[in-house]
A and B are shown apart, each in its own frame.
Chain A
Amino acid sequence: MRTDPIRVLVAKPGLDGHDRGAKVVAAALRDRGMEVVYTGLHQTPAQIAEAALQEDVDVVGLSIHSGAHMTLFPEIKRLLDANGMGDVLLVGGGIIPEEDAAQLEAQGFGKLFGPGSRTDEIADYIEAELERRPAK
């Protein structure tokens, strides 16, 4: 079992300016004992993938409300894979219709959390998912 804290990058891709949700999740994960790198608003997929590499995180959490998730999320996944970071757990949240979520999960995304999700549910999911994966 790992003894060092789980490292998470919380990022807001694209143009929407609503970071309340991202901040609430970041604080909840911190309170669960994780190290959360928060990058702020308006990130491009390339910026997110590069920050994930430099910080060597276990998890990338994306928050989006603009509706552009089907463009931005797969691009972030592609860049992470290209950076040799394909083993990172990718999770997301925001306004994401169920059929889109299913499609993203089929592409290798972890769980996508919609409105009303509990923060401890997100933390539990991350812990359980990382427990299953081989140590880096």
Chain B
Amino acid sequence: MDSAALIPAFRAGDRRALSRLLTYAERGDDAFPALYDELAPSRGHAMRLGITGPPGAGKSTFVSALVTARRNAGERVAVLAIDPTSPFTGGALLGDRIRMQEHVLDSGVFVRSMATRGSLGGLSRASLEASDLLDVFGFPHVVIETVGVGQVEHDIIEAADLVTVVLSPGAGDGVQALKAGLMEIADVFVINKADLPGADQVAVDLREMLALRSQRHGDEIPVVRCSSIDGEGLGEAIEAIDRRWHTLEHDGRLAARRHERSVVQVRRLVEQSLRERLFGSDEDLEQSLSSSDLARPYAACDMLLDRFDAQTSRSPASPTHKRNEPR
């Protein structure tokens, strides 16, 4: 399928076109910016739910159970499942699909696996653009599952409308729960594997932590226990997510988050483009620096920026991203 045919096919609901556009997003294809800008104005209809938590907490199993529940309610769901890229080989084993097998032949479900490709915040580089595409394609639910994360990977707030943090018993005592970062981004806590011993203690620790916090924020963060394997508590978990969604929608925080997300996105795109213009590739940068430059890093930095300023003042900036002719 050539790139000119992609948009009409995408708008007509062709899953192959969706899939190919996701590939374009992921590899940063030259054709992508124009195609994306044509579709992006229609985003903002899906409920974008981020699912994050430590490795092995049961994120994929929870997502699969969530998909089943949404489908039983007659709603279509797209899942973006992210797994880590090896920093040594650049390869990745994407295994989240194994737990989604029952949904493969359901035309109301679309699952795409992505590797982080060097991104360190728990998402892949193009997660936001990819979830925008799934949203514009018409899925009312877009679920973004991050890699297993620790305490500092919280890029998910830059791609999702609301975030569910999935924890499981035995992952650490109350002090772990008090730490910053991951613990502060949750809209809903799900304590998965509630059939295992220790789930009550995790719930108690979390509620204590949240009680200290909510005096500050005046905000109630639900803590729900569930077992994704046998379905116990799953209904309550989904109810808590939906209630939280309605709260955010009504008090204006959803709109505020989406606005901020767009601003952050533009900033990221500017940073990427500037970096490319400034340096080209790492090899280009290396070649433009002599060993005497390297001896005085701040001076080298000023020298490069002066050279960049001189370049930009001489020639009017040419657009980095190709644009389609207006119709």
Q: Measuring CB to CB, which residues of chain A are less than 8 angstroms from any residue of chain B?
A: 3-5, 26-27, 29-40, 43-44, 46-47, 50-51, 53-56, 83-85, 136
Contacts and interface: CB of A to CB of B under 8 A. Distances in A.
Nearest to B101: A40
- Which among B94, B101, B110 has the greatest number of chain A C-beta atoms within 10 A? B94
Interface string B88-106: 0111111101100100110
20 contacts: A5-B91, A27-B93, A31-B86, A31-B91, A34-B91, A35-B115, A36-B92, A38-B93, A38-B94, A39-B98, A39-B101, A40-B98, A43-B101, A47-B105, A53-B16, A54-B112, A55-B19, A55-B113, A56-B23, A136-B23
B163 interface: no
B53 to A, nearest CB: 22
Given A35-B91, A43-B101, 20 more contacts: A4-B26, A5-B90, A5-B115, A27-B93, A30-B86, A33-B90, A35-B94, A38-B95, A38-B97, A39-B101, A44-B105, A47-B104, A51-B104, A54-B19, A54-B110, A56-B19, A56-B23, A84-B1, A84-B16, A136-B20
B23 A5 contact: no
Nearest to B112: A54
Interface string B152-165: 00000000000000
B300 interface: no
B183 interface: no
B268 interface: no
B112 A30 contact: no
A72 B83 CA distance: 30
Interface of B: 1, 15-16, 19-20, 22-23, 26-27, 85-86, 89-95, 97-98, 101, 104-105, 110-113, 115, 117
Contacts of A85: 16
A44 B15 CA distance: 20
B5 to A, nearest CB: 11
A38 B19 contact: no
B89 A38 contact: no
Contact of A30 (B1, B93, B105, B117): B93
B113 A26 contact: no
Contact of A46 (B94, B98, B105, B110): B105
Nearest to B17: A84
A59 B234 CA distance: 37
Contact of B105 (A29, A38, A39, A50): A50
A51 B95 CA distance: 12
Given A4-B27, A47-B101, A56 B20 contact: yes
Contacts of A37: 94, 97, 113
A36 B97 contact: no
For the complex of A and B, list the 6 residue pairs with the smallest distance between their C-beta atoms, beginning with the closest.
A30-B91, A4-B27, A40-B98, A33-B90, A56-B19, A56-B23
B126 to A, nearest CB: 11
Contacts of B15: 53-54
A90 to B, nearest CB: 17
B98 A5 contact: no
A84 to B, nearest CB: 5
A56 B22 contact: yes
A15 to B, nearest CB: 15
B103 to A, nearest CB: 10
Contacts of B110: 54
Nearest to A2: B27
B227 to A, nearest CB: 22
A36 B95 CA distance: 8
Contacts of B20: 56, 136
A36 B93 contact: yes
Contacts of A55: 19, 97, 112-113
B16 A83 contact: yes
